[in-house]
Structure 1
C-alpha cells in the first residue's frame, strides 16, 4: 500500500547503474515515463523517500540485532535460531524487514543509484541473507527426523504443494501452525514437520526474491541428496553395473533381487514421494527451482534403483529365473503410476525412460523364456520309463512350473498381449483342436498355458510307447493325465483353462483307464463263458476254471508292481474291475463250483478263488508292492497268503 501512495518521477532517462551489482537489479523494470515531474528538494524529502528511509532503519535495527559474531564465520555452526518457538514474532519481523529493505533498494536504484543509502542497504541485505542462509541450513539439519520422507509423505495431503506463493504469507502460516499446535489430534511429528516446512518455505522465498536463490538451493541439494542416498543404502539398494551382475552366481543374484523387491515399494511410495512433496513445498514460489532441486537430489538414486531390473534382464535366461523376472516386472508395473507422477519433470524424464526400458526388457525376457520352455519340453529326450507306470518327472516339473505361472496371470496377460502363438511343429489334430473353439479361454495367457500343457501331453504319448505292455502304457497315460487335471483343479489354472477344459480331460482319463482295464484283464474275461449260467459239459467247466486261474494269476502277479498314485483314480479302477469281472465269475462259480465238481478228486485245485477272494486281491493292487500271489489250496477257506 505504501508504494501505491507515491508515483516515482520519470525524466525519460535511464538511471545510472548501481555500483553494487546483484541479481535483483536485473529483474526490476522501472515504470514508463508519463510526464516530467520536478525532482524533490533535498531539504524536503518526499513521502516515498521517508518511507524507504524508515524501511532501511527498521531493517538495520533488526538485522544488526541478530548479527552475532558467529555469523561472520563461513561455517554453519549452531546459532540462536530466529525460527524457534521463543522467537516466532522476531522471525516474522525479520522477514518483514527484509521485504521492506528490498523495496527500499529498488526505489534507490531508480532514484538515488549513487547514494550511500544504497550501499548501506546492500550491506544490510548481504548480512540478512547470510543469516537466513544459516537459518535455512540449521532448520534442515535440526529437523532431519521430522522432515524424513516418510513423515512428509504421510501428511502430504494436508498441505497441497504450492499452497503459498509469497513469503509475505509467513505470518498467516504461523497463525495456522499455532492453531494446529493447540489441536491435540494432530501428532507432534506432523506439527513439527509442517512448521519446519513453513519456515523453510518462508526463508527460501525471501532469499529467492532477493536474488540469493543459488545459495539457498546449494544448501538444500547437499543436505537432501545425502538423505536420499543414505535411505537407499539402508533399504539395501546397491549401485551395481551390468558387468557386476553378469558375473554373479544365480543364488547370489537371487538374494539381490529379493532385497530389491523389498526396497522398491518403500523407495517409491515413501522416499521419492516424500522428497517430491518437500521440494514442492519449500520452493513453491518457483517451478523451475522445484524441478532443478528435485532432479539433482533424486536422479542418481532413482537411476540406480530402476536400472537394476534392466541389468538383470540382460543376463543369461534360464527357466528357473522366470519367476524372479516376473516379480521384477510386477513391482515396476504396479508402481508405474507413482513413478510417472513423481518424476514428471522434463529433467527427470530419463528416470521414466529407464523404468519403461526395464519393463520392455523384462517382458522380452519372459516371452523368450516361455518359448524356450516349450522348446525344452519338445526336445526332452529321456528314454527311461517310470516303474509301475507312475507319474513321470517331466509331468511333475512342467505342471508345477505352469501352476506357478498361473499365479502371475495378470501381468503375463499384459506381456503376451499381441504376441501371436506360433506352433513350431505339428501336433495331433485331437490335441490341437482342444485349443480351438474353447469359450473359457478368452485371454491370451490361457491359450498360451493350454498350449504348454498340450506340448507336454504329446511328449507323454511318446513316452507311453516305451512300455512293452500296452495295458501299462494306458495306465501310465491315465496316471499322468490325472496328475495334470489335479494340478489344474488345485491352482489358478482352473480359472484360466475353465470347467470345459477340466471336464474334457477328465473324460480322457477315464478313457485311458478303460483301455487299461480292457487290455490288462482281457484274458481273464475271455476265460469265462459268455453265458455263465448256461449248461455246459464238465470238461468245459474244468477248462474255464483252469484258464481263469491261469489268466488271473498272470495278470495279478504282473500288476502288483504297477502303481496308481491318485487315491480316487485307484479306487475308480478297482471298482470298475470288480463290476466287470466279479458278477460273471460269481454266477459261474455258484453254478459250477459247488457239488457238481466235488465228486472230482482235484476240485480244490480247480476252484482256487471265491468271488470274495477276487475283491480281496484287487484291494491290494496299484501300490507298487511287487509281491507275487500264493493261492489258497482250499476254496472253503477263501484266503491267501504272501
Structure 2
C-alpha cells in the first residue's frame, strides 16, 4: 500500500474555509456596527450597548480580528475605528444627557436656599461700617454654638439638589459599559479626552452657578489688580469651596471609579484632567479675595472664615487628588492659606490699633453713658473669639519691651490671649482720652466707671475663651471700677457731706451757734439739690453698678445726716 504525502491541494480546503469564516465574522461585525450607528445609538432610541449585546460582541470580534495580519486585519482595524467613533460619540452624549440641569437661576436659588453657611454668632451682612459702629450691629447668641444664616442647619442641606449637576447613577452604568469596550480596543486616550473636557465644562458651569466668578477673579489676580472685598462674594466662595471639595470632587471621583474601574490609570487620569483646572480656578478666586486692598478691620471674620474652611478642607483635597496634580494643587492651596493668614493678620493689627473715628454723640456727652467705641470693640472681640484657634496660628507672639518677669509670663500665654490683653489696654487708653471731653469731674468718673464696668462684664465672658490668667485681668478691672466709684463719691458727695460734718463739729463743741448750724444745713440742702438736679439725667446702665453706687452713697450720707 502506497502512502501519499499531503499536497498543497489538500491544504487549500481548510485554509479557504478558515478565511471564509474570518470573512463572515468580519462582515457580521461590520454590519452590527453599521446597523447600530445608523440608529444613532441610545440618543435615537437605540438603547445603547446595554440593549445591543450584538454591538459589544461585534466590537470584541473586531478587536480580536484586528490582531491578525493581512487584509482582514487591516479591514478589522478600519471597522474598529468606525466603531470607536460611534462609541466615543455615544459616550459623550450619555455623559451630557446623564447630567440633569435645572435652569441656572433655579439651580442657584435651590442651592443657596438649601445650603447653610456657618456664620458663628454673626451675620455676614451685618458688619457695620466705620461711620456707624455699634454693638447692636452684631446678632450675637447666648451660647457658644454656631448659628446658621437664614435659619438653616447643616442637616437641612438637600443632597438631591446638589446631585443635579452630577452624573446620574443609571447613566454611569451605561458609561462604564462603553468605557470598557473603548479601553479594551486601546483607545483609552480618546475616552479620557472626551470625559475630561465634557466634565471640565460641566464643573466650571457648576462653579458659576454657585456664584464663584472664576474668570473675573482669575483675570484680576493675573493682572495684579485688586478686587473689592465684598461680603457676599466671600460667602459664595466659602459655600462654593465647601460644596466643591466636600461633595462635588468626592462624587466625581466615585463616578470615575465606577465608570473606569477596569483600568486604574485611566480612572486617575480622567479624574485629574476633569477637576484640576476647576479646582485651580476656585483657588484663584480665593487668591484674588486675599489680595484685595480695600480691606477694613471689620472684614477680618470673613477672611478668618475663609482661612478656617480652607484649612479644614485642605487634607480632604489632598486625599482626593493624584500624582503631579496633587502636588500642584496642594502647593497652591498652601500658598492661598498663607495669603489668607497674612491678610487676616493685617486686619487684626489694624483693629488692635483702634485708629478709626468714633465721635461721641450728644447723648453720650450729656449722660456719661458707655462709649460706642467700647461697645463695638467688645462686641467685635466676641466675634473674633469664635476664631481663636486660627488666630493662635496666625498671630505671632507679641514682642514688647517689658520687664523680664512680665515678658516671661506673656510668652507662656496663647497669642489670642496676648492679643485680647493688648486690645483691652489700648481700649482703656482711648477711654481715658475720651474722658477728657467731660469738664465735670463727677460726670467724668461716671463715664469711666460705666466703660470699665462694661469691659469687665464682657471680658469675663466665657466666649472670649481666655485662660485662668484672665482672673488677673478681671481683678484689675474690678479694682478699676472701685477706684472710679470712690473717686466719684469723693468728688460728688464728700463736699456736700462736709457741711453736715461741720454742723456736727459745732454741736460737738457745745456752743450755741444756731446761725452756723442753720447755715450748714442750708449749704447741704443746696448741694444736695444741685446733685439731684444735675445727676438725675446721668446714666448708669448696669443694674449691679447702680445698686453698688446706691449702697456706698447711703453708707456715707445716712450716718452723716443722722
TM range (shorter): 0.7 to 0.9
Of the candidates 399, 402, 426, which is equivalent to residue 422 of structure 1? 399
**Is the 2:88–2:191 Cα contact (8 Å) retained in structure 1?**
yes
1:185-264 correspondence to structure 2 within 5 Å: 193-238=168-213, 239-241=215-217, 244=220, 253-264=230-241
TM-score, normalised to structure 2's length?
Answer: 0.73
Query: Aligned equivalents of 1:526 and 1:210: distance in 2?
Result: 109
The farther-off stretch of 341-350 and 320-329 is 341-350
* Residue 455 of structure 1 pairs with residue 426 of structure 2: yes
Q: Does the aligned pair in 2 maintain the 1:98–1:125 contact within 8 Å?
A: yes
Cα contact 2:432–2:448 (8 A) shared by 1: yes
1:236·1:260 contact (CA, 8 Å) conserved in 2?
Answer: yes
C-alpha offsets along residues 489-528 of structure 1, whole Å, 9 cap, x if unaligned?
A: 5571255674553344233212321221122211123222
Q: What's 1:330 paired with?
A: 308
5 Å-filtered alignment, 1:38-437, equals 42-43=11-12, 60-62=27-29, 64-68=31-35, 70-71=37-38, 78=44, 80-84=46-50, 87=51, 90-91=52-53, 94-96=55-57, 98-99=59-60, 101-106=62-67, 108=68, 113=69, 115-145=70-100, 193-238=168-213, 239-241=215-217, 244=220, 253-316=230-293, 317-377=295-355, 386-416=365-395, 419-423=396-400, 437=409
- TM-score (ref. length: structure 1): 0.65
The answer to whether the 8 Å contact 1:52/1:104 transfers is no
SS in 1 for 2:212: coil
SS at match of 1:67: helix
Cα distance change on mapping 1:50 and 1:281 into 2, 3 Å: farther
Task: Rate the CA distance shift 1:305–1:486 in 2: closer, same or farther, 3 A.
Answer: same
Structure (1 or 2) with the greater helix fraction: 2
| 2:510 alignment counterpart | 536
Say whether residues 1:483 and 2:454 are aligned partners.
yes
RMSD: 4.0
Choose 297-306 or 93-102, whichever is displaced more.
93-102
Q: Offset at 1:410? A: 2.5
Provide Cα deviations, 1:424-480, integer angstroms capped at 9, x if missing partner: xx79x9xx99997589x9432122112111111123234334544443333222111
- How many residues align? The count is 481
> Is the CA contact (8 Å cut-off) linking 1:280 and 1:290 kept in structure 2?
yes
For structure 2, which runs of at least 5 residues remain unmatched after alignment? 1-7, 102-106, 108-159
Deviation of the 1:363 alpha carbon: 0.6
CA contact 1:60–1:124 (8 Å) conserved in 2: no
Describe the superposition over 1:551-583 as per-residue Cα deviations: whole angstroms up to 9, x where unpaired. 333444443443322232122212220122113
Deviation string for 1:66-110 (max 9, x for gaps)?
Answer: 42284499x9963513434xx2xx53x64355445434543x3xx
* Structure index of larger Rg: 1
Contact 1:240/1:304 (<8 A) preserved: no
- Inter-partner Cα distance in structure 1 for 2:408 and 2:490: 31
- 1:336 Cα deviation (Å)? 1.5
